[in-house]
Amino acid sequence: MSESKELHSFDELVVKALNDKELEEFNRIYYGRSCHLQLDLQQESIAIAEKNNFEIAGYTFLAKTEETRSARTVKIGIIQHSIVATTDKPIREQRTAIFDKILRIIDAAGNEGVNIICLQEAWSMPFAFCTREKQPWCEFSESAESGPSTQFLRELAIKYNMVIISPILERDEIHGDTIWNTAVVISETGKVLGKHRKNHIPRVGDFNESTYYFEGNTGHPVFETKYGRIAINICYGRHHPQNWLMFGLNGAEVVFNPSATVAGLSEHLWGVEARNAAIANSYFTCAINRVGTEHFSNEFTSGDGKPAHKDFGHFYGSSYITAPDGSRTPGLSRVRDGLLIAQLDLNLCRQIKDKWGFTMTQRLDLYAKSLNEAVKPDYKPQIIKDI
Ligand SMILES: NC(=O)NCCC(=O)O
């Protein structure tokens, strides 16, 4: 299906199909709130979005007023975008074209006073891992501490007093020139606060990422920023509840899920996993997917019986944000670049822990013991047979 024939947006489909009363019921049952609380956006931001052809949307999540704690209001931004130059162009040209696009979107976010922003997985390059070719794609890899993406974003972080999460293809020159799929956290002072390397690497369909990099070795770090405690669960890690759990155990209040995933594979899972993680762990989650179809010069196959092809399929965008109570924003478009902003009160995390008690009742001690047994070579699964 060509891009123009792609469904524009799941939410648009629903809004078109339902009358006002039905839509209110749909929103209540499906999104956990009868109407979405819109965030008033500045005219200037809307103008930047129109001029540069990206969608901009903003929503609010409220928490109860507490007597002993003041509200901890923070504005979160997530960005989905397509690549700009074709994948046969020189690397610097491809990267600079993406930087130019992202600059405009971050300008709009800065204008909105966004405090923390996250880009999509491997945002500064095409998602070329489907090809299994090492050249030229490995050349997009860069130092997390001082590479072109970090240098570019560091200036914007300072300019807008914004924490920026930059998921890139990392080259670790100190440790054997190894390549990693890494999210770099840049603080509002422009300092690299730290990084997290993708824990779970897919081996499904055209996602041939294990050809390029290995499972991450950075554990489950939570970054204590000026605006709140944040973590990053990179793409395929969202299928693993334990990965989400560990970020929660380390105290995350917002977990970002920068992703790259395609329509044929995962779209029916997309609305479920990050949302479920928010519910199970009483934190906010931000699911971010890239958008568009990326074409490559040489055809490839992935041992899945599909005929050889030159594109990955359609990255369906649809980025969204979920609160700890399970309510969520509508998704961004399936076909357009977009900036989604949410104003949240982080106090909601503890309020939901108090209400539902999931962190209290999760029986970590029980599971720690059971898992310890289950990984032993002589483990006998606990099955009771009717014999
Ligand atoms: N980038 C990535 O990990 N994609 C895997 C496919 C999926 O998780 O939907």
Ligand 1, from 197, 213, 259, 290: best to mutate by most atoms within 8 Å of Cβ?
259
CA distances from 360 to 168, 200, 243 (A): 36, 27, 19
pLDDT at 380: 97
Helix, strand or coil, per DSSP, at residue 282: coil
CA distances from 343 to 12, 124, 159, 245 (A): 22, 26, 20, 24
The closest residue, in CA terms, to atom 1 on ligand 1 is 260
What six digits make up the tokens of 156? 């914007």
> Distance from CA of residue 26 to its chain's centroid?
25
**CATH number for the domain whose boundaries are 36-374:** 3.60.110.10
- Residue range 202-260, pLDDT digits in tens: 999 999 999 999 999 999 999 999 999 999 999 999 999 999 999 999 999 999 999 99
- Residue range 68-102, pLDDT digits in tens: 999 999 999 999 999 999 999 999 999 999 999 99
State whether the beta carbon of 253 lies less than 6 angstroms from ligand 1.
no
Helix, strand or coil, per DSSP, at residue 18: coil
215-228 burial, b if ≥16 CB within 10 A, otherwise e?
Answer: ebeeebbbbebebb
Establish whether 286 is a catalytic residue: no
The closest residue, in CA terms, to atom 6 on ligand 1 is 261
Amino acid identity of residue 237, one-letter, is G
257 Cα to the center of ligand 1, angstroms:
11
pLDDT at 4: 62
- Residue range 91-150, pLDDT digits in tens: 999 999 999 999 999 999 999 999 999 999 999 999 999 999 999 999 999 999 999 999
pLDDT at 103: 98
pTM summary value: 0.98
Establish whether 121 is a catalytic residue: yes
Q: Give the containing element (helix H, strand E) for 179.
A: strand 178-186
State whether the beta carbon of 23 lies less than 6 angstroms from ligand 1.
no
Q: Where are the domains of the chain?
A: 36-374
The closest residue, in CA terms, to atom 5 on ligand 1 is 236
Note whether 153 and 186 are within 8 A (CB): yes
Please report the atom of ligand 1 found closest to the CA of residue 265. 9
- Residue range 332-374, pLDDT digits in tens: 999 999 999 999 999 999 999 999 999 999 999 999 999 999 9
Inform me whether the pLDDT recorded for 1 exceeds 50.
Answer: no
pLDDT at 209: 97
